[in-house]
Amino acid sequence: MSAALDIKLTNENQAWDLIKQLSTNTFDTKGARISFEDFPIVRIKYEGPSFNGTVSTRLCDVIYELQYEVNRIYALAVYGDETHLLSKDEKEQLEIFVKVAEGSSDLIANLGKAFNKMVEEGMKRMESKHIAIVLTTATVSLGGYFIADRYFQYKEAANKEAVTQTMTTQETERLKIIRDIVAEKPAVEAAISAGKSLGDKAVKAIKPDETVEKEGEKLNYADVREKFKRTRNTPEEIEFTGLYYVKEVKVSEHGEFFATLESTESGEICTAKIAGTESRLKDGILSALGSRQSIGLTIQGRQYKNTRKDCVIVSFGAEA
């Protein structure tokens, strides 16, 4: 019996080569075991007058999003279900540590340890091909926001040629690889969406006098506003802050917490998910449950005409 094949990934180009082979079924993954060596690396650089080797609460939200997406990829790789509720021990094993470089706010996260843990646990439950497809796609999506973003632009566009005309030859080739791997295994689209969600959160974090750089592409505030501009018929992404009474808290079958809130100013009722991994936020909301003590919250969501949808509580807002 031949020994199992060991595949060591150390950079993005190796990951793209493997995804291409997986998408065309030209690589036999039976019994193969992938390992990650200082890869993937997620790096997001912020520059502006407020940044000097520090992390603001705005950037903490980006870090929480990264942790959330890593946990979601683990659930997909190990259980075949991105919504699977992880145990406390699993979450601790996946804990991400982010380095902040001096002179700006250059966030650097080495996810190699977390991805090797996904391989270790995934091999106990899933086929090696499933693990290989999910994790290699996740590496290029988390580390490569713009290709993940363009995949969804292409998917949703009525004029697909208009999307590819703005792309380089390499980006066009990689978009095809991503589309092929989704055709081979549709569930892997969740790993691509993880990269887009992280990237969206990262670029939206900047203020007017700041820039954000990812994968060598730098965006300023005007670039970000233009990128997320919506037509009147498309839900607009919004953020709002106010004082709320907490009327009810429910837990979904996937372990997500949802709070029913009443605005102290307008009396408007909305339901919002409690975001991220910060226990302080959840504990504060639970403490306000059922009392007439209002709590200041910052909420993100989408608005279509007069209706707010997909609301998520991201942090404490104005003081009660």
Domain spans of the chain? 6-227, 236-316
Per-residue pLDDT for 1 more than 70?
Answer: no
Question: Does the pLDDT of residue 233 top 90, yes or no?
Answer: no
Please, what's the largest Cα pairwise distance for the chain? Answer: 72
pLDDT digit string (tens) for 128-144? 999 999 999 999 999 98
Asked if pLDDT for residue 220 goes beyond 90, the answer is yes
For residue 239, pLDDT beyond 80: yes
- What CATH code is assigned to 236-316? 2.40.50
More confident of the two residues 265 and 189: 189
- Which residues have a Cβ under 8 Å from the Cβ of 139 and sit 6 or more positions away? 9, 12, 15, 36, 39, 40, 111, 115
Taking the C-alpha atoms of residue 319 and residue 296, their distance in angstroms, rounded to an integer, is: 5
pLDDT at residue number 156 = 86
Question: Per-residue pLDDT for 291 more than 70?
Answer: yes
Residue pLDDT, tens place only, 45-77: 999 888 877 788 889 999 999 999 999 999 999
pLDDT tens-digit series, residues 7-26: 999 999 999 999 999 998 88
DSSP three-state, residue 58: helix
- d(Cα 13, Cα 290) in Å, to the nearest integer? 54
**């081979």: which residue's tokens?**
184
List, for residues 101-128, the tens digit of each pLDDT value: 776 688 999 999 999 999 999 999 999 9
Residues 6+ apart with CB under 8 A from 11: 39
